[in-house]
Every structure is written in C-alpha cells, then in structure tokens.
Amino acid sequence: MKIKFLGTRGYIEPKSKKHTMYTSLMIYHNKNKIMIDCGENWLKKLKRLQPTSIFITHAHPDHAFGLKEGSFCPVYATKITFDLLKDFPIEKKYKKIVTIGKKTKIDGITFEPFEVMHSIKAPAVGYRITFNKKAFFYVPDVLWIENRKKAFKNILFYIGDGATIKRVMVRKDKKTNQLYGHANISSQLTWCQKENVKKMIITHCGSDIVKNEIKAKKEIIELAQKKGVEAILAYDGMTLEI
C-alpha cells in the first residue's frame, strides 16, 4: 500500500510550491485509489485523479467542496456531514454513512472513524487506517481526539494538523461554552509522546509553515526532539510506502 499527500495546505491565503493544494491524501492499493478529503480546489481535478472511493473528515470547504458537482464514486462520511452537504448532487447510491465505532473495509484496508473536536457547525472525524496489521491515524483538522488511546494504539505514525506550531488557536462558543479550533503542533507532539507514537507527519499546513518553511521546520524538529518524537513536514506530492 502506498499513500500520497495530494495536498498539504490549510484553508489560508498564502501558498508555496510545496503547499499549493488543499489538504488531501490518496491511498493506493491494487486497483483502488482511496481519497481522503476533497476540498474546493480539487473540483476540476477529480476526473484526472479518478479516485475509486472518497472519505470525508468534515464539511468545511477545504475538505468537502470538491464534491459540489457530485461524485462518480462512493463517498464515505458521517450522517451529519452528508446533511451539511445536502445541496451537493451526490447520488444516493454513492452515499455511504460512516459511524463512530463501526469499521469500513475496502480491499483489506480498514477505516475506523473517531470523534474529534474541531468545529461546532461541521463536526469532524479522524480515521484510524489499518492494512496488514499496520496502522496509522489521520486527522488534518483537530483540537482534541476522543478516545485517543485507542486511536493511537500501536500506530506506525500520526498524521496531524499543521495549522499552527505553538500559537494558540482555541476558541469558545459564547452560547454553549464549547471549544473549537486547532491544537498546535506542540500539543500534538505531546499526544504522541504520551501514547508512545514515535513519528508525527504534519499536513494541513498553516501560515506559520507556508510563509517560512525553513524556519518553521527547524522549530518543529527542535520541539519534536525534546519530546522524543520524529516530526516530518509533508508536502504536496510526498509519498510513503506502508
């Protein structure tokens, strides 16, 4: 199985050669091309990519609006995500609902959604992805992971949110007091340290990284070394063999 970071840019104005397209991952196995997230700047590129399935983490524009004109393959998402995308002409036969705690298997690859805290209006999930007893966890937008211990158990690496390095991006809803936003990279490295995950791969890169990657990379590596974790900055087109 091979994974490719199709895009690694967050929902920001700045872009660079390494971070141009909105965050998306493609998994290649046999004849399958399984895409995770399809933001609005992928809309006119889907026919070229020809995914065989698409998984969506949540209904924000940079993760789901590439489906505004519908889909030619199965789309996997939570019911609330499909409700938020109800105006998109996705055929009923292609709508596949994923449920927290229930696994989906495609040609030997298992996708298990986990509830995460990120957005109040567009609730998100992360996916634990397992193949041949090897697993990794993928969540490009996250403030907190519910049941993190189970999500991270014996994973090879964690692919997480690069919106900010140390800057705080946490907000509180005035009516409900619910928290939303993004965990910084420093906090996510601590999660890895606590759960004995040795490697974090950073995607969904924010302005901290995109505007000055050399400086950002140095700062991230220093943070990671202090926590005993290897940190890798993903970039558009980067591939890994699992």
Give the domain extent around 47: 2-241
Mean of pLDDT values over 92-109: 97
CA dist 138 and 205 (Å) reads: 14
- pLDDT digit string (tens) for 191-229? 999 999 999 999 999 999 999 999 999 999 999 999 999
Is residue 159 very low, low, confident or very high in pLDDT (cuts 50, 70, 90)? very high
The CATH number of the domain where 35 resides is what?
3.60.15.10
pTM of the model: 0.97
The total number of structural domains that make up the chain: 1
- pLDDT digit string (tens) for 144-153? 999 999 999 9
Listed in sequence order, the DSSP H helices in the chain are 46-49, 61-64, 79-84, 148-152, 185-194, 207-210, 213-226
- pLDDT digit string (tens) for 47-89? 999 999 999 999 999 999 999 999 999 999 999 999 999 999 9
Looking at residue 83, what is its pLDDT?
Answer: 98
What's the farthest any 2 CA atoms get from each other in the chain? Answer: 49
In 45-156, the DSSP E strands lie at: 53-55, 75-77, 95-97, 104-106, 109-117, 124-131, 134-138, 144-145
Looking at residue 117, what is its pLDDT?
Answer: 97
| 163: amino acid identity, one letter | A
CA dist 67 and 39 (Å) reads: 8
- pLDDT digit string (tens) for 166-184? 999 999 998 899 999 999 9
Query: How far is C-alpha 106 from the chain's CA centre?
Result: 19
